[in-house]
Amino acid sequence: MSLSFTVTHELAGSAARTGLLSTPHGDVETPIFMPVGTKGTVKAMTPEEVEALGAQIILANTFHLLLRPGDDLVAELGGLHKFMNWRRPILTDSGGFQVWSLTRLNKIVEDGVRFRSPLDGSEVYLTPERSIEIQQNLGADIMMCFDECPPHDAGHDYLRRSAEMTARWAARCKAAHTRDDQALFGIVQGGVFDDLREWSAKATVEVGFPGYAIGGLSVGESKADMERTLRVMNEHLPRDKPRYLMGVGTPEDFITGVENGVDMFDCVHPTRTARNGRMYTTEGALNIRNAVHARDAAPVSESCPCYTCCNYSRAYLRHLFMSDEILGPRLATGHNLFFFIDLMRRIRESVRDGSFEALKNEVYAVYPKGGKAE
């Protein structure tokens, strides 16, 4: 068995828990935030920096790596860990989400999906089997089943048929999976319909996986819909297996996820916003390009112990961004990653010592629930 999961603590009166996920490249404490290294690099950072910020596992994207440099090339170079010089665990997604979000003219049939590469227009064909083949070439510790990701406003009928096909694809993915040093997670779909979520969870659990992901959220639905769906998922997913909420999220989403039993999160949010100058603090997010920071000798956050806050003023960071200097996105990315990773560390601690409600109130006071999921 390439992966084991142990629940180490359960918060009384809540679905929140802590756990330990063991992989061939080391252990991961849950709940965990996984920084995204889309193309085999967490943008602007070295692997050593990402690790020093406290990251225990990162995510890479099958879709992007398939198109460039190609999974065969990565395999030839010794796999993704070696290729990108990251020695800790990696999770790869299946390409499913990107096929729907980044390509046009995709044609979905029972066998798979045909689309044009956004890089050069060439035709690409992805099936459950091919997705697993690619992910085995990449060699991540955790792979994901190939799923269909319908738009959040798709109707009940479409979502039902889609969830059924995703369940059949899950069985095909499991059958195609041969490398025993990699674990394969199933993905539950069903939009924000409780009955479909329940059906999809049962069908996926029936195929049987060492972990389950909640797909199809954070795609434009309301936060209330997301939260209700997470409650349904918590009821119908096995409690002894890790649960991974895909593509989520923000500080407030972490809280909502954890109190509904989610163990794993990934999102480009902290790194992407950092490159646009949006920096997170315990007093709220700020845009460092704003003129108000031009002569400010203070760090982004007085209480933050990260490298950026210990060494640079808001004025200097603003200057870097206004001058399009690479060091700007670097320093902002380091800060935001630290903030997100450290928040998750504090969440784990609060689940263990019973202070979760207090932390939840602290986070919601600054980053309120409500509005659209990003």
Q: Catalytic amino acids?
A: 93, 266
Shortest CA distance to 89 belongs to which of 145, 51, 132?
Answer: 51
Beta strands in the chain (DSSP E): 4-10, 17-23, 26-30, 32-34, 58-60, 90-92, 107-108, 113-116, 123-126, 142-144, 183-188, 212-214, 243-245, 264-266, 278-281, 284-287
- Least CB distance to a copy of itself at residue 52 (A): 13
The residue from 266, 329, 340, 351 that contacts a copy of itself (CB under 8 A) is 329
Q: In this structure, what token pair is assigned to residue 308?
A: 């950026």
The residue from 85, 101, 290, 361 that contacts a copy of itself (CB under 8 A) is 85
Q: In this structure, what token pair is assigned to residue 175?
A: 């059958």
- Least CB distance to a copy of itself at residue 60 (A): 12
In sequence order, what are the beta bridge partners of 7?
19
**Among 75-83, 93-101, 234-242, 357-365, which window interacts with a copy of itself (CB under 8 A)?**
75-83
Q: Which is nearer to a copy of itself, 234 or 271 (CB)?
A: 271
Segment 288 to 317, residues that bind a copy of itself, using CB under 8 A: 294-295, 297, 311-313, 315-316
Q: Which is nearer to a copy of itself, 169 or 312 (CB)?
A: 312
Q: Report the alpha-carbon distance of residue 186 to residue 144 in Å, rounded.
A: 6
The residue from 172, 177, 330, 360 that contacts a copy of itself (CB under 8 A) is 330
Q: In this structure, what token pair is assigned to residue 312?
A: 């640079």
Q: Cβ distance 21 to 242 under 8 Å?
A: yes
If one asks whether residue 78 binds a copy of itself (CB under 8 A), the answer comes out as yes
If one asks whether residue 175 binds a copy of itself (CB under 8 A), the answer comes out as no
What are the backbone dihedrals phi and psi of residue 305, each rounded to the nearest 5 degrees, phi first? -90, 15
Q: Count the site residues for a copy of itself by CB under 8 A.
A: 34
Question: Which sign, positive or negative, has the C-alpha torsion 231, 233, 235, 241?
Answer: negative
The residue from 7, 102, 268, 322 that contacts a copy of itself (CB under 8 A) is 322
The residue from 41, 106, 282, 355 that contacts a copy of itself (CB under 8 A) is 41
- Least CB distance to a copy of itself at residue 295 (A): 6
**Among 25-33, 80-88, 109-117, 259-267, which window interacts with a copy of itself (CB under 8 A)?**
80-88
Residues 236-275, mask of contacts with a copy of itself (x by CB under 8 A): ----------------------------------------
The residue from 327, 342, 362, 369 that contacts a copy of itself (CB under 8 A) is 327
If one asks whether residue 287 binds a copy of itself (CB under 8 A), the answer comes out as no
Q: Report the alpha-carbon distance of residue 69 to residue 97 in Å, rounded.
A: 19
What contacts 142, CB < 8 A, 6 or more positions away? Answer: 3, 23, 89, 90, 91, 92, 182, 183, 184, 185, 211
- Least CB distance to a copy of itself at residue 331 (A): 8
Largest CA distance in the chain: 60
- Least CB distance to a copy of itself at residue 64 (A): 8
DSSP state for residue 85 in the 8-state scheme: T
From first CA to last CA, the distance across the chain in angstroms is: 36
Beta strands in 11-141 (DSSP E): 17-23, 26-30, 32-34, 58-60, 90-92, 107-108, 113-116, 123-126
The residue from 8, 26, 73, 361 that contacts a copy of itself (CB under 8 A) is 73
Whose tokens are 């499991």? That residue is: 174
- Say how many C-beta atoms besides its own lie within 10 A of residue 323's C-beta: 9
- Least CB distance to a copy of itself at residue 92 (A): 16
Q: Which is nearer to a copy of itself, 42 or 145 (CB)?
A: 42
The residue from 2, 46, 117, 222 that contacts a copy of itself (CB under 8 A) is 46
Binding site for a copy of itself (CB under 8 A): 39-41, 43-46, 68-69, 73, 76-78, 83-85, 294-295, 297, 311-313, 315-316, 318-320, 322-323, 325-327, 329-330
